[in-house]
Structure 1
Amino acid sequence: MTLVLVLAACLLAVAVVMTLTALRARQLGVVAVVDVAWGLGFVVVAVVAALLGSLSDEADARRWLVLAMVALWGGRLAWHVRSRALGDHQGKEDPRYAEMLGGSLQDVGMRAAVRRVFLVQGGAQWFVSLPVQVGAVLAVEWWPVVWIGLLVWAVGLTFEAVGDRQLKAYKAQPKESRPQVMDQGLWAWTRHPNYFGDAMVWWGLWLTAGLASGWLPGLLTVACPAVMTFFLRNVTGAKLLEKKMMERDGFPEYAERVSMFFPTPPKKRR
């Protein structure tokens, strides 16, 4: 019964977060505000799951570790994307969401935005966070798996944070003096270190909160990080962004040398 309560409460929490985000999007006139709610929504889910997990006789201190992992990742992500969604580009829709909507929010209307973005993002948020929810009410069976998951999560967070910082430093350079394409640091090994890092974070959370609880919880939740990885690489992340990036000078040549998602040693310039 505790697990059912946690699943239901987390679904309600996601619905509240996405409803408030949709209202804010209507006020600002851009759907991109959902990027801020993406990270924060996972934090809300983790808080709800950890608190309700105390009602379970099996739950242990591992749920607080998972909460800290989600909070650090989600808080950093929300802080990083806030200026893009709410500040520097306020009033301008992110090209990814314009592609999903088939136009601006003003063109398609709020109903279409709710159906195509907010419901989809909310459903994905609840589904992807299932290992966090399950791990909050179950005891750890294999503590070594918890620490392996923590290591994988840390590698992912490092890729995200370092990749974002490197890109920010590149954009801060004068356009006339910087390289055509950011191909230094982690960006020399993967064209999307932030998306790859995001995927690693969720595989780490699955190991820590899902598989460490036993084979059955692990098997029942393994689709969650797998779906997250698929979407980050093929749907809402890397491939969607590259539709625009391929139009930029130097990017097709960069794409020939550097792996799109999984880091690999870069090919030599021709």
Structure 2
Amino acid sequence: MSGFPWGAFAVGLGWAAATALAVMLATFAVAVRKGVHRVVDVAWGLGFAAVAAVTCAVATTAGEGDTGRRALVAALTVVWGLRLAAHIARRGRGHGEDPRYDAMLAQAHGNRNLYALRMVYLLQGTLVWLVSLPVQAASYGPGPMTALAWTGAAVWAVGLGFEAVGDAQLARFKADPANRGRVMDRGLWSWTRHPNYFGDFLVWWGLFLIACDAGGPAAAVSVVSPLVMTYLLIGGSGKRLLERHMADRPGWAEYAARTSGFFPRPPRRNP
């Protein structure tokens, strides 16, 4: 593992942690003023974008890492984060508190806002720092950029496409009053029950490939990121919780029987 700038990388980790914390604390202040904690979902994407931008700036100032790889991983993360934040902000405009946060805060003993700070904002800030490890490692990895980095960028692009197209299709479906109470089973949603989560999955494995391009040490320290994200999307707060919420909706059982739970495939004709 010689050649990797561990000292500069450690400094970068500190800056990344401070950035994630600052974004979450600023979001917490906005949420308390508005009386709605669902705004933290917008901060998820913004946190990654901010960490990527700060990491790029700090690594550039330190003179570490390949310029092209550093710019590539920062740009991809910022694009993904800002798109996600804008989509969630549009989706939540005009709505009250998210039922998930209402249920969580109902368990609070004492000040609900302080409970939300501990259980939501600080936890999400920690996850932003942890999941962004490929972005940080790729920014400091020595050696020139190779085809592996572009392979990672291609995987990222497919993931972003799945996520953006899936979100747009679902938004159009929900905008039609005739679809109220129905299950979305068209377009990408006929190939996978969660095209947006599958897109996130590809985005972070693609960024991990870019970190692998930076060398063995960068890959070793950042592999935890796509593994954690995969768990969150499939077994954590993503697919599992959403399907539990959808289980009683009319038509869901039939839809689930013919449609892949995560990885896309053609729908079954005779489920």
TM-score (norm 2): 0.91
Query: Aligned partners of 2:143 and 2:34: how far apart in 1?
Result: 44
Query: Aligned partners of 1:260 and 1:70: how far apart in 2?
Result: 26
Task: Find the partner of 2:132 among 112, 119, 129.
Answer: 129
Match of 2:171 in 1: 168
1:136 Cα offset (Å): 1.2
Unmatched runs of 5 consecutive residues or more in structure 2: 1-6
Query: Aligned partners of 1:170 and 1:70: how far apart in 2?
Result: 28
Match of 2:155 in 1: 152
Change (3 A) 1:178 1:118: closer
CA offset digits 1:148-191 (Å, max 9, x no partner): 1001000000000000010011112122x678211111000111
**Percentage of identical aligned residues:** 44
Query: Aligned partners of 1:105 and 1:238: how far apart in 2?
Result: 25
Match of 2:42 in 1: 36
Whether 2:98 is the aligned partner of 1:94: answer yes
Matched-pair contact (CA < 8 Å) for 2:137–2:219:
no
Match of 2:262 in 1: 261
Aligned-pair Cα RMSD in Å: 2.0
Whether 2:9 is the aligned partner of 1:3: answer yes
Task: Find the partner of 1:60 among 56, 67, 83.
Answer: 67
Match of 1:244 in 2: 245
Change (3 A) 1:58 1:154: closer
Query: Aligned partners of 2:65 and 2:177: how far apart in 1?
Result: 56
Query: Aligned partners of 2:46 and 2:245: how far apart in 1?
Result: 27
Unmatched runs of 5 consecutive residues or more in structure 1: none
Whether 2:113 is the aligned partner of 1:110: answer yes
Query: Aligned partners of 1:232 and 1:131: how far apart in 2?
Result: 18
2:134 corresponds to which letter in structure 1?
A: P
2:46 corresponds to which letter in structure 1?
A: L
Change (3 A) 1:28 1:140: farther
Matched-pair contact (CA < 8 Å) for 1:60–1:140:
no
Whether 2:87 is the aligned partner of 1:80: answer yes
What is the aligned residue count? 264
1:102 Cα offset (Å): 5.0
CA offset digits 1:20-58 (Å, max 9, x no partner): 111111122222111111111111101111011111344
Query: Aligned partners of 2:245 and 2:110: how far apart in 1?
Result: 21
Change (3 A) 1:248 1:108: farther
TM-score (norm 1): 0.91
Query: Aligned partners of 1:94 and 1:68: how far apart in 2?
Result: 31
Query: Aligned partners of 1:187 and 1:64: how far apart in 2?
Result: 33
Whether 2:222 is the aligned partner of 1:218: answer no
1:142 Cα offset (Å): 5.6
Match of 1:26 in 2: 32
Q: Where has structure 1 moved over 4 Å in runs of 4 or more?
A: 104-108
Change (3 A) 1:178 1:23: closer
